[in-house]
Amino acid sequence: MTEQDKSSNVVWHHATVTRNRREAMNQHRGGVFWFTGLSGAGKSTLAHYVEEKLYQKGCHTYVLDGDNVRHGLCADLSFSDEDRKENIRRIGQMSNLYVQAGVIVLTAFISPFRSDRENVRKIAGSDFHEIYCKASLEVCETRDVKGLYKRARAGEIPDFTGISSPYEEPENPELEIDTESHLEECADEVFKYVVKAVDL
Ligand code: ADP
């Protein structure tokens, strides 16, 4: 049974407070800024940096971060291919709800599979902006921010992206950032992109 089949008797309720009205009040558009890349590539760092700058300009923002989501909404999911797919599907749906609420959503998930990211693009349409944080495995492994690469190399973490599970690079991301160095420059580049995309 598909997701639609299971909820076929549910009728969509139309709100009077529409996305357009929310965006008019916020004075910026909503959007999903989907940071993807290897663990340690800089997704969270950039997402939070950009959120801080947007907040200071009075924007309505929210960062959805891999670790946090996996403690709650997706706590029942593992890192198998199937569960990773379901993880991204839920986050995609949730991001789209935020966009309907007029919010600028910044997501920091490895999201290693191209097809999963493309499924989110299908949900959010032109509101979806894929931002590829490009850093080599060597650089990410040297950073080893959370000590996970060391543990993965020791065989303690199964299905670890880049080591024992693949990462499929985006083919046509809206933005590709070389995150091997120059953090400030990278952050400013992403910020400029977001400002333009949300008509700030
Ligand atoms: P991820 O969320 O992709 O797992 P993190 O943001 O947690 O990665 O960690 C990235 C690390 O790399 C941080 O310690 C950050 O300071 C550092 N870093 C160095 N250069 C950059 C850059 N250009 N962009 C983003 N992070 C960078």
pLDDT (tens digit, 9 = 90+) per residue, 160-191?
999 999 999 999 999 999 999 999 999 999 99
| Mean pLDDT rounded to a whole number for the chain | 94
pLDDT surpasses 70 at 96: yes
* CATH number for the domain that contains residue 54: 3.40.50.300
Domain count, the chain: 1
Q: What are phi and psi of 55, to 5 degrees?
A: -60, -45
pLDDT, position 31: 98
How would residue 2 be classed by pLDDT, with cut points 50, 70 and 90? Answer: low
Amino acid at 43: K
- Could you tell me if residue 162 is inside a domain? no
- Could you tell me if residue 156 is inside a domain? no
Place of tokens 């940096």: 49
- Could you tell me if residue 87 is inside a domain? yes
162: left (phi over 0), alpha (psi -120 to 50) or beta: left
Encode 96-108 in three state secondary structure: HHHHHCCCEEEEE
What is the extent of the structural domain holding 56?
27-134+169-197
pLDDT, position 5: 66
pLDDT surpasses 50 at 87: yes
Ligand 1 centre and the CA of 42: distance in Å? 3
Please name which of 129, 62, 44 lies closest in space to residue 98, comparing C-alpha atoms: 62
C-alpha angle 100-102-108 in degrees, rounded to nearest 5: 85
- Could you tell me if residue 129 is inside a domain? yes
How would residue 134 be classed by pLDDT, with cut points 50, 70 and 90? Answer: very high
pLDDT, position 1: 45
pLDDT, position 4: 54
- Could you tell me if residue 20 is inside a domain? no
pLDDT digit string, tens, across residues 36-72 = 999 999 999 999 999 999 999 999 999 999 878 888 8
- Could you tell me if residue 18 is inside a domain? no
Q: What is the dihedral of CA 165, 92, 39, 155, to 10 degrees?
A: -40
- Could you tell me if residue 15 is inside a domain? no
pLDDT, position 71: 87
As beta bridge partners, residue 64 has 107
- Pocket residue to mutate for ligand 1, from 45, 139, 143, 160, most atoms within 8 A of Cβ: 45
Where does ligand 1 bind, in terms of residues with CB under 6 Å? 37, 39-46, 108, 133, 143, 145, 179, 181-183, 186
- Could you tell me if residue 121 is inside a domain? yes
pLDDT surpasses 80 at 116: yes
Percent of the chain with pLDDT over 70: 98
Q: How many CA atoms lie within 13 A of 31 on its CB side?
A: 23
